[in-house]
Structure 1
């Protein structure tokens, strides 16, 4: 396992971090997964107030002894954005109590996803001020934020100067946040990538076409190499539900070298297949079509269509498409069938795509299917 500097925090984090949201089936399983991660050289463990019993389980693991001194581990917890500083102070104390810790190495304000949330934490006596006071008291050592928001919001939050690191989405199959990665380097902020295996494309279970295009690597391995060959990326979350799921990262924790010619060939094959399969209907993700009067998240809808057609990633597309209208500010926007053919987006598309037709096509491919009732005929 290799380690990288986490921006201006000066922490040296393992290039894979254990996210503990999924190892919740039992306290025993959580402790076993944490022990395995530490044995593999992972020194960064991440939890959150909103992750069920995760803080309690991690705390019991730490209190019970995991074969690694506290000073050699870096613990992150995440707390929601709030304009109420008293609430933030209470949450910090509760997280420390559940974890059985005197301090957090890093605290992330969890889910700065809307302009209102960013403005709210910056209010006088708000959540940001309370977190900064906790830093002065030694309860937390470094402060950052996580986000599922727009690129523009991410850049704005980074430029406040209040944060030392950012948790965000950025993958081989989603490179919209490239500018945020570049800004992080300029500002010397640590970069923590959210869920590259699952949110990056459900790459633990790739479709056959994608698997073939990535040979001799796996799609998951190629995604890890794409990310870790970039020195601006500090660490990747691995959300293992059990010790066995950590085995998938084994070959990649020591691979920080630049992409090899063979790996570049894999990327070129992916690009060629994308072009051939999508033809003139390919959405190039410029985002010029927004805003949509019906609040359809057009680029993301069409990105899922791109992946489903180019690489047979229908299952991933259906998984993410179902989240529209169901996940609030964590995955905003409405589905493609909400299009009214107003034509507002058409003159803004530099590729002159027939966007209403493509939205309907995406909905037909990826829409949630209701289960058949027992009394219904086939």
Structure 2
């Protein structure tokens, strides 16, 4: 914390659901940091409840753990389904009470939801910022970025180094394709060059891991011709390597009768085949059936060859075969999320 703040980081995010994170941050704040509290923007996150009193109590409990008398930002954590959004709307008056008396300065939401749920949440006009997934290798939420920007919302990108492709340990092929840049730098630049985006998270495990990302932090100008050329090379490589097996991520194949998240399964296949991002694919693929609404959908081997998706695919992909191939490539070992 001392290293981050001394190097200019001024936004710190925690959450009740992150183990002892709030208590650890509270201890660091109590011990003293090399800047005034007024120079820090501290965000915590609270699981939405339909009971306003429970929401208000959750804010007070976070403040107590953090040794703070106010939060700069509070995100309703994990609005991942329409039901979660409905619950948040019914309970939000409890949080609005904390806005009125200054215990919270700004309210937003974090989400791993399908695009339509994110758009619906933004369109409630109840929130001032959104935490969501959006990276060079995952642009499904582009419409949410645009709508949030139109509504003058803060836009916080979740874990661009890790969820964006485990880009701190890229495959040799991806490293070669991104030369003279690193894959991680290219993803940071893709995001930082987008003036609609407010904040990128840096999940450092030790002080040294802060150094490299902060060398990029001020490089927020437009993409250079050389950077654009590398991004064009990545796109051309994917089209060339995958050929007629490339999923364009149109999402027309959904819904699947077996609840397979076909576009996400095939996105991971795209990355594994085109860029040898196999370890990242395994990391994400094994979350299917193990992470609930945080990463919904069944694995590709659940396909029953019903053919329901086939007429809707504009590329006329042999989706059942590709699903089985993805499962074979990426099934790896089973795993669960940390708090499960």
Quickly name the TM-score band, shorter chain normalised: over 0.9
Q: How does 1:204-243 map to 2 (within 5 A)?
A: 204-243=168-207
Q: Distance in 2 between matches of 1:215 and 1:261?
A: 14
Over the residues paired in the alignment, what is the CA RMSD in angstroms? 1.0
Give secondary structure in 2 for the equivalent of 1:122: helix
After TM superposition, give the deviation of residue 309 of structure 1 in Å.
0.3
In the TM superposition, what whole-angstrom CA distance separates every residue of 1:331-370 from its partner, at most 9, and x where no partner exists? 0000000000000000000110010000000000001247
After TM superposition, give the deviation of residue 154 of structure 1 in Å.
0.1
What is the aligned counterpart of 1:55 among 14, 22, 31?
A: 22
Q: Distance in 2 between matches of 1:323 and 1:261?
A: 37
Q: Could you tell me which residue of structure 1 aligns to residue 307 of structure 2? A: 343
After TM superposition, give the deviation of residue 81 of structure 1 in Å.
1.4
What is the aligned counterpart of 1:44 among 7, 11, 16?
A: 11
- Confirm whether residue 102 of structure 1 aligns to residue 66 of structure 2: no
Q: Distance in 2 between matches of 1:109 and 1:369?
A: 32
Q: Distance in 2 between matches of 1:266 and 1:144?
A: 35
- Confirm whether residue 198 of structure 1 aligns to residue 165 of structure 2: no
Q: Distance in 2 between matches of 1:161 and 1:37?
A: 33
- Confirm whether residue 304 of structure 1 aligns to residue 271 of structure 2: no
After TM superposition, give the deviation of residue 86 of structure 1 in Å.
1.8
- Pick 1 or 2: higher relative contact order, CA cutoff 8 A, min separation 6: 1
Q: Distance in 2 between matches of 1:271 and 1:288?
A: 21
| Unmatched runs of 5 consecutive residues or more in structure 2 | 335-340
| TM-score, normalization by structure 1 | 0.87
Q: Distance in 2 between matches of 1:301 and 1:309?
A: 12
Q: Distance in 2 between matches of 1:366 and 1:280?
A: 20
After TM superposition, give the deviation of residue 250 of structure 1 in Å.
2.5
Change (3 A) 1:130 1:322: same
Change (3 A) 1:369 1:91: closer
| TM-score, normalization by structure 2 | 0.97
Q: Distance in 1 between matches of 2:215 and 2:130?
A: 26
Which runs of 4 or more aligned residues in structure 1 lie more than 3 Å from their structure 2 counterparts after TM superposition?
A: none
Q: How many residues align?
A: 335
After TM superposition, give the deviation of residue 36 of structure 1 in Å.
1.0
| Unmatched runs of 5 consecutive residues or more in structure 1 | 1-33, 371-378
In the TM superposition, what whole-angstrom CA distance separates every residue of 1:301-353 from its partner, at most 9, and x where no partner exists? 00000000000000000000000000000000000000000000000001100
- Confirm whether residue 137 of structure 1 aligns to residue 104 of structure 2: no
Q: Distance in 2 between matches of 1:129 and 1:367?
A: 44
- Confirm whether residue 65 of structure 1 aligns to residue 32 of structure 2: yes
Q: Could you tell me which residue of structure 2 aligns to residue 157 of structure 1? A: 121
Give secondary structure in 1 for the equivalent of 2:298: coil
Q: Distance in 2 between matches of 1:37 and 1:271?
A: 35
Q: Distance in 1 between matches of 2:149 and 2:56?
A: 30
After TM superposition, give the deviation of residue 184 of structure 1 in Å.
1.1
